[in-house]
Amino acid sequence: MFKKISLLLGLILILSGCKSQNSIFTKKDKADHSITSTGKKKKGDTKSYSEVITSDAKTDDGLFKVHRVGEKLYFEIPSNLMEKDMLLVSRIAKVPSGYGGGYINAGSKVNEQVVRWFRRGANVDMKVISFENQSEQDSPIYQSVAANNFSPILFSSKIEAFNADSTNVVIDVTGLFDSEIAAINGMSASMKKRYKVKKLDQNRSFIESAHAYPENIEVKHVMTYEAEEPPERDQAGTISLLMNQSMILLPEKLMQPRLADDRVGWFSVRKYDYDSEQLKSDDYEIIRRWRLEPKDVEAYKRGELVEPIKPIVYYLDPATPLKWRPYFKKGIEDWNVAFEKAGFKNAIIAKDPPTKEEDPEFSPEDVRYSVVRYVASTTRNATGPSVIDPRTGEIIESDIIWYHNHLRSYRNRFMIEAGAQNPDARTLDTPEKEIGEMMRMVIAHEVGHALGLPHNMKASSAYPTDSLRSANFTQKYGLTPSIMDYARVNYVAQPEDKNVRYIRMMGPYDLYAINWGYRFLPEAVDPKSEKKTLDAWILEKEGDPIYEFGGGYDGIDPQSQRESLGKDQIKASEYGLANLQKVVPNLIEWTSKDGYNYNDLQEVYTELIGLWRGYINHVITNVGGVYETKKTSNQEGTVYTAVPKSIQKNAVNFLNNNAFNTPDWLLNESILDRIEASGAIERIQKLQTGALKSLLGEERIKRMITNEEQNGSDAYSVLEMIKDLRKGVFSELYKNKKVDAYRRNLQRSYVDIASAYIANVRTQDNESILKSDIIALMRGDLQSLRYDINSRRSRVNDQLTTYHWKDLIARIDTALRVE
């Protein structure tokens, strides 16, 4: 058996699925659970049961008994639950308006941690247990791992009484819930600082309810803080949070973990094995997934679709508007197609919220229920968090969060990115069919997270860009091979393209990833014995970009970017900008409503500017970009490959034409005269300066230098890039033309960015820049630019342009002067 024991204060056999659990305590060290009530009672001894749990007590029985006696709460813990693993999940059940900037809501998880109750003489301690570090129990290093992973005590209470047969201890846990304990608290240090919180007011903090269920305990308690600057209703000078604490007994029979592989995207849990023969601690990861096991293993082996013993069930929040419920349910159950690929049918089920008669105990905060929470908030977002058993990576429960105003995001984006091509997008009253489909796919995306899948930003690059203009292709394959990509609206399609799909959908990568993570392998006795099969599935898809994974957060791989579409980002951005140019002249008509102001126009126009920035950044990433294809050592080829020279050069040409040439079409006077008194010049300056700073960023230049050193003339050199850029940014200089206000701002930004690099020589601020070629490059470029300005500035008969050239020379001279 593959016995690996996870520590803190009780290392558990997690990698074998075995039933036993072992503590790091020796027999001598173990707490004495043979509680007796014999002997003469002395002063200070425990009270009788009836003295503590009086006739006034309100008792609820389940995992163990909870008693409310006046303002006090008692837990009656059986001896057979001592040292058992329990997951303590802390959530905010109710929250003041605006708390945390709108991103903390009713249902937000604060913390999750495994705890165990320990008897310590006349006291009971609740300790936090970690499972990150591992060692065999009979290994010599086991003692050191235990000694260096000492469990913190979260809460301690003296034993108040025993039950009649002395098998249960009664402890007062009131202080756990009406005192300020950081590990279960909804008020973080940053929130205290933000709202200038003085202290917890215990007079206004209390336990609201406590309930026991067969496998969990649920406690709600109000925490009230005195605050100088509360988010809303500051007349009271307080912030009150209703907290919900869920304590769930973790399963004795552990789910068999599955080893993670970064070639297939999964959320994971890191482990460290100190018994490794690799002359180091062997760090590895296991994936986060629900426990799906077939009811009929033999039928499953024969290739039949089999229902799981315990399907994944999501309930809709009772607050969900009735008209949106069908779309939410479809978004949840869309994943059944993927689970069928893994051999399961009816693996995930969406249910309406039960009535009081159907389930009087239903509560969205109860960890027995996974719920799609509908949050009445102006926040424009959706999330898909989950709660896991850290021993094995098993997902215990999850709550999908849908913020009401996320509808606003999709309404606006649909108009901006599809308005030129799709008549249904030319209104802020988006037809229900379209907005419902968008909601469905957002829910599907967030459920994907809750199933264990992270973002796969690389997926979209698997499809040829022009395929997204095809009705047949998009209706069959969608916009990207994965719903986990950020590819919300088809901005590539053009007005002449008919019947194309505009909204993302689930794709082949999703089916592949779910099969890889969830297919039950009955012959595998431990995680290592699964690896050969899992690796074979990956190698079957080797070389097919549809099945590649990339997180897209390092900003290096242009094929792995948020919101990009298609393999060719330059072409996609050209299509996107062409559509935006057609949308802008129509925004007043599409957003105006008789009797109302132009707030909607301002909002949509501002978001359109943001999408322009996104399209530009998609192209910038190609310059100095590096393609990443995740591989293991048994696969041929390299992991990292520089973007070809021709593509990088084309990207700079695109930027000169579309980002650094003034985008006059954005400066629509009819719009600007309705939404602002001034600011257009500064807005364009900010957009262009941001693009320039990104293009001339330190890490990008260093990658280009490295690429040139490795690939010689096949590389797009940084000198060539800067020369191409300079010719574009200063085109008026080389064409003897007048420079307008927008371009003057851009050119000043160029000189200022280069000058800021050189300033490091004086300030000694950045050693990495001082030791690189960047300062020499920027100094040489400014010297060349100074020479060109001096030799050409008199060729234009425009006084302001002449002043501008003189100003740039003065700036360059200042930058080059090192004292």
SS3 per residue for 200-224: ECHHHCEEEEEEECCCEEEEEEEEE
pLDDT of residue 375: 84
Q: Which of 227-231, 377-381, 408-412 has the weakest average pLDDT?
A: 377-381
pLDDT tier at 102 (50, 70, 90 boundaries)?
A: confident
Q: Note whether 217 and 235 are within 8 A (CB).
A: no
Q: Which of 282-291, 346-355, 533-542, 724-733 has the weakest average pLDDT?
A: 282-291
pLDDT tier at 17 (50, 70, 90 boundaries)?
A: very low
Q: Which distant-in-sequence residues (6+ apart) come within 8 Å of 502 by Cβ? A: 414, 418, 421, 422, 425, 434, 489, 490, 493
Q: How many CB atoms lie within 10 A of CB 295?
A: 12
Q: How far apart are CA 11 and CA 133, in angstroms?
A: 9
Three-state secondary-structure class, residue 643: coil
pLDDT of residue 330: 98
Average pLDDT, the chain: 90
154-163, 365-374, 793-802 — most confident range = 154-163
Per-residue pLDDT tens for 736-761? 999 999 999 999 999 999 999 999 88
461, two tokens: 């690059």
Q: Which of 202-211, 276-285, 713-722 has the weakest average pLDDT?
A: 276-285
The C-alpha angle with vertex 460 and arms to 459 and 462, in degrees rounded to 5, equals 75
Closest by alpha carbon to 82, among 111, 115, 49, 60? Answer: 115
Q: How far apart are CA 529 and CA 668, in angstroms?
A: 64
Q: How many CB atoms lie within 10 A of CB 454?
A: 18
Q: How far apart are CA 70 and CA 252, in angstroms?
A: 35
pLDDT of residue 598: 96
Say if residue 235 is exposed, middle or buried (CB neighbours under 10 Å; 0-12, 13-18, 19+).
Answer: exposed
Q: How far apart are CA 445 and CA 384, in angstroms?
A: 8
pLDDT of residue 14: 33
129, two tokens: 């247990």
Closest by alpha carbon to 424, among 442, 404, 410, 406? Answer: 410
Entry pTM: 0.89
Please check the confidence at residue 233 and state whether its pLDDT lies above 90.
Answer: no
Which DSSP string corresponds to 237-249?
A: -EEEEEEEEEEEE
Q: How far apart are CA 331 and CA 450, in angstroms?
A: 13
Q: What is the mean pLDDT of residues 229-243?
A: 82
Q: How far apart are CA 371 and CA 381, in angstroms?
A: 17
pLDDT of residue 278: 65
Say if residue 665 is exposed, middle or buried (CB neighbours under 10 Å; 0-12, 13-18, 19+).
Answer: middle
Please check the confidence at residue 36 and state whether its pLDDT lies above 80.
Answer: no
pLDDT tier at 151 (50, 70, 90 boundaries)?
A: confident
Closest by alpha carbon to 488, among 478, 497, 496? Answer: 478
Per-residue pLDDT tens for 677-723? 988 889 999 999 999 999 999 999 999 999 999 999 999 999 999 99
pLDDT of residue 6: 40
pLDDT of residue 29: 36
Residue whose entry in the numeric block shows the structure tokens 């919101």: 563
Q: How far apart are the first and last CA of the chain?
A: 71
Q: Which of 136-145, 236-245, 340-349, 485-494 has the weakest average pLDDT?
A: 136-145
Q: How far apart are CA 61 and CA 211, in angstroms?
A: 8
Q: How far apart are CA 687 and CA 682, in angstroms?
A: 9
Sequence ranges of the domains in the chain: 5-34+54-249, 297-565
pLDDT of residue 10: 39
Residue 740's identity, in one-letter code, is D
Q: How many CB atoms lie within 10 A of CB 670?
A: 11
Q: Which of 32-41, 335-344, 529-538 has the weakest average pLDDT?
A: 32-41
Q: What b/e string do you get for 47-78 counting C-beta neighbours within 10 Å, with b at 16 or more?
A: eebeebbeeebeebeebbbbbbbeebbbbbbb
Please check the confidence at residue 38 and state whether its pLDDT lies above 90.
Answer: no
Alpha helix segments (H runs only) across 419-483? 432-451, 471-477
Q: What is the mean pLDDT of residues 798-818?
A: 93
Per-residue pLDDT tens for 548-564? 999 888 889 999 999 99
pLDDT of residue 234: 60
Sign of CA dihedral 424, 425, 426, 429: positive
Q: How many CB atoms lie within 10 A of CB 302?
A: 9
Rg of the chain's alpha carbons, rounded to an integer?
31
Per-residue pLDDT tens for 222-231? 999 999 888 8
pLDDT tier at 768 (50, 70, 90 boundaries)?
A: confident
